[in-house]
Amino acid sequence: MSGKLDADIAILELDEAHAVHFVRRINPRFSLLLNVMRDQLDRFGEIDHTAGLLKEIALNTTGAVVINREDSRLAAIPQKNVLKAKVSWFGLAPHLVERFPQDDDLYANGTHPSASLRATVILQSLEGDQATFNIDGRSLSASLALKGIYNTFNAAAALALVHTILPDANIEQLVSDLSVIKSAFGRGESFEVDGQQVELLLVKNPGGFRLALESFDPTGYDTMIAINDEYADGRDMSWLFDVDFSSLRAHGVRIVSGTRAYDMALRLKYDEVPFAEAEIDLDKAMEALLGDSEKPKRLYCSYTAMLKCRRFLGSRTVVEKVL
């Protein structure tokens, strides 16, 4: 933040707690508010408190705030507060709302204020890797290199933000560029280890885990679930009981690992999902997974478990270094 970067725009991904301290020192011109989900409750408290942190970010933004209209807690921020910044919305076509549940939808029927909020960008449809977006009334499609249906809604958010910052930018080119954006840092990264394909998927809240399981067919894969409970993961793992694991029932899970391996094993038992092994030590679990068969592997990991699995993979193959 010394001003010596050779760039005109800095894009910072911050969690709510860190972002609040940042915006008190440097007012952002633009902010993008994605969602409020039930994770790390021991760190953030209840999600209404998390929404309050995001409200402070919006209040300190000077140019424009881009908000997910499908999240009722976020949608309430400009309705209940006077913002300095203008507000833009992104959202979903009505038939897609159920596929992207907000937190309240996991426990009861949540309220969706989207009908009354006009969005700049709407995710209109998705089929496989193909997504169609309605941008200011224009329908444009792209084939996304990013895997996972959750990334199609993230793409809608990104398009809404860039369109807000650069309203004269070529919309067709922006949508086309989505096809060359690749997964990074555990968010669907794919590696080849001794001739085996290994996919690494970060999961950290019930909504995201549900969408990840919906996005990837377990047929023909050895599946591993690695759950830690370190500070960066959140100590409270009760949210795992809000994830439906029944899609893994037919093919089972090869191994569960991490400091909460036995909690994960118990959770799978409740959904009648068979698993072959529980191993707390992540390195030993990775050795067992990679040495078991020639099937491709898919790993669902909490944050610190993902870091450790990624380091292990880096000892076996080329893994991009992240500062």
Give dist(CA 311, CA 226) in Å, integer: 14
CATH of domain 16-180: 3.40.1190.10
DSSP 239: G
Q: Check: CB of residue 92 under 8 Å from CB of residue 124.
A: no
Which residues does 109 contact at the CB level (< 8 Å), separation at least 6? Answer: none
Over residues 254-280, mean pLDDT: 97
| Closest among 209, 192, 191, 171 to 303, alpha carbons compared | 209
Give the least confident one: 27-31, 51-55, 99-103, 287-291. 99-103
Sheet holding 30-33, edge to edge: 30-33, 64-68, 86-92, 121-127, 130-135, 138-143
% of the chain at pLDDT higher than 90: 61
Q: Is the pLDDT of residue 39 over 70?
A: no
Mean pLDDT of 165-189: 88
Give pLDDT, residue 128. 81
Is 172 within 8 Å of 136 (Cβ atoms)? no
Percent of the chain with pLDDT over 70: 93
DSSP-derived 3-state class of residue 164: helix
In a 10 Å sphere around its CB, with 0-12 CB exposed, 13-18 middle and 19+ buried, how is residue 173 labelled? exposed
Residue 2 banded pLDDT, cuts 50, 70, 90: low
* pLDDT (0 to 100) of residue 254: 97
Q: What is the pLDDT of residue 9?
A: 83
Distance between CA atoms of residues 314 and 123, nearest Å? 36
Backbone angles phi, psi at 132, to 5 degrees: -120, 130
pLDDT at res. 106: 67
- Three-state SS at 115: helix
C-alpha span between 71 and 307 (Å, rounded): 29
Q: Is the pLDDT of residue 56 over 90?
A: yes
Question: With bands split at pLDDT 50, 70 and 90, how would you rate the model's confidence at 28?
Answer: very high
pLDDT, residue 110, reads 58
Q: In what order do the strands lie in the sheet with 187-193?
A: 187-193, 196-202, 297-301, 222-226, 253-257, 275-279
| Rounded distance between C-alpha atoms, residue 135 and residue 65, angstroms | 17
Residue 104 has pLDDT above 90, yes or no: no
Torsion of CA 16, 209, 98, 34, to 10 degrees: 20
CATH fold of 187-314 = Protein-Tyrosine Phosphatase; Chain A (3.90.190)
The beta-carbon contacts of 161-167 under 8 Å, at least 24 apart in sequence, are 161/30, 161/32, 161/66, 163/88, 163/120, 163/121, 163/135, 163/136, 164/30, 164/64, 164/66, 164/88, 164/120, 165/9, 165/30, 165/64
Looking at residue 113, what is its pLDDT? 59
| Better-scored residue on pLDDT, 46 or 60 | 60
Overall average pLDDT of the 169-187 stretch: 87
Helix (H, G, I), strand (E, B) or coil at 309: helix
Flag whether pLDDT at 276 surpasses 90.
yes
Band of pLDDT at residue 42, cut at 50, 70 and 90:
low
- The span from the CA of 218 to the CA of 120, in Å, is 36
Rounded Cα–Cα distance for residues 323 and 313 (Å): 17
Tell me the whole-structure pTM to 2 decimals: 0.86
**Domain-wise residue ranges, the chain:** 16-180, 187-314
* 232 exposure class (CB count in 10 Å sphere: 0-12, 13-18, 19+): middle
